[in-house]
């Protein structure tokens, strides 16, 4: 029987509740992971995932959008031709570009300065506080069942209350692919 300790990721990226959402977004993107444990000292206090970030962005849409399209060709009736229902027609056009003055820019900042919500809010505000965990001596099959039943993508591996690793659906898929 294959145990979690045999396949878990041991070197786990972690953040604190005070980490900014911008910092965690950069971490997730840079390391190609979809979630990380949140630690206060050595205690696991939650998990923050890309889904948590997306939920935050969706609920703070006005705060997170800072660039506005000045002249949207899709709004220009002359920009549409017989290919109106073809999505590519909105992006490609065989006509010559129109003359524009050198002072016009295709994108401009809103006149109203908006805050950068990702730098102004922290992981502690959006993290999932429920910690789903298993011990390192649990089976990989048990971890897969747990993730499937709970509808989650990762389980923290805790031993004596200390973070030892993480097992994700990707780890389970890797194990299954190697067995076939």
Q: Read off the pLDDT of residues 31-52 as tens digits, 9 standing for 90 and up.
A: 999 999 999 999 999 999 999 9
Predicted confidence at residue 179, as pLDDT, reads 83
- pTM value is 0.70
Domains of the chain: 4-60+116-179 (3.10.580.10)
Of the candidate ranges 11-20, 97-106, 134-143, 154-163, the one whose mean pLDDT is the lowest:
97-106
* H or E element at residue 106: none
Q: What percentage of the chain reaches a pLDDT higher than 90? A: 64
Mean pLDDT value across the chain = 81
Residues paired with residue 133 on neighbouring β-strands, in sequence order: 156
Asked if 65 and 114 touch (Cβ cutoff 8 Å), the reply is yes
- The residues pairing with 128 across neighbouring beta strands, listed in sequence order, are 47
**How far, in Å, CA of 108 to CA of 29, rounded?**
26
- Region 53-80: mean pLDDT is 61
Closest CA to 125 of 113, 136, 117, 116: 117
**pLDDT reading at 74 higher than 60:** no
Q: Is the pLDDT of residue 86 over 90?
A: no
Tokens of 52: 């948590």
- Cα 65–122–31 angle (5° rounding)? 80
When mean pLDDT is compared over 72-86, 99-113, 152-166, the highest value belongs to 152-166
Confidence (pLDDT) at 91: 46
């Amino acid at each position: 029987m294959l145990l979690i300790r045999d396949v878990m990721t041991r070197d786990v990226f972690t953040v604190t509740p005070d980490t900014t959402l911008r910092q965690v977004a950069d971490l997730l993107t840079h390391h190609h992971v979809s979630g990380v444990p949140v630690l206060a000292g050595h205690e696991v206090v939650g998990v923050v995932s890309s889904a948590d970030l997306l939920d935050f962005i969706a609920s703070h849409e006005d705060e997170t959008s800072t660039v506005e399209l000045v002249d949207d060709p899709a709004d220009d009736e002359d920009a549409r031709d017989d290919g109106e229902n073809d999505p590519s027609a909105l992006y490609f056009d065989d006509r010559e570009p129109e003359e524009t003055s050198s002072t016009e820019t295709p994108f401009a900042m809103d006149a109203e300065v908006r805050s950068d919500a990702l730098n102004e809010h922290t992981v502690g505000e959006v993290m999932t506080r429920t910690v789903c965990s298993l011990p390192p001596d649990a089976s990989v099959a048990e971890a897969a069942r747990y993730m499937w039943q709970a509808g989650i993508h990762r389980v923290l591996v805790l031993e004596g209350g200390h973070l030892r690793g993480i097992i994700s659906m990707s780890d389970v898929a890797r194990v299954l692919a190697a067995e076939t």
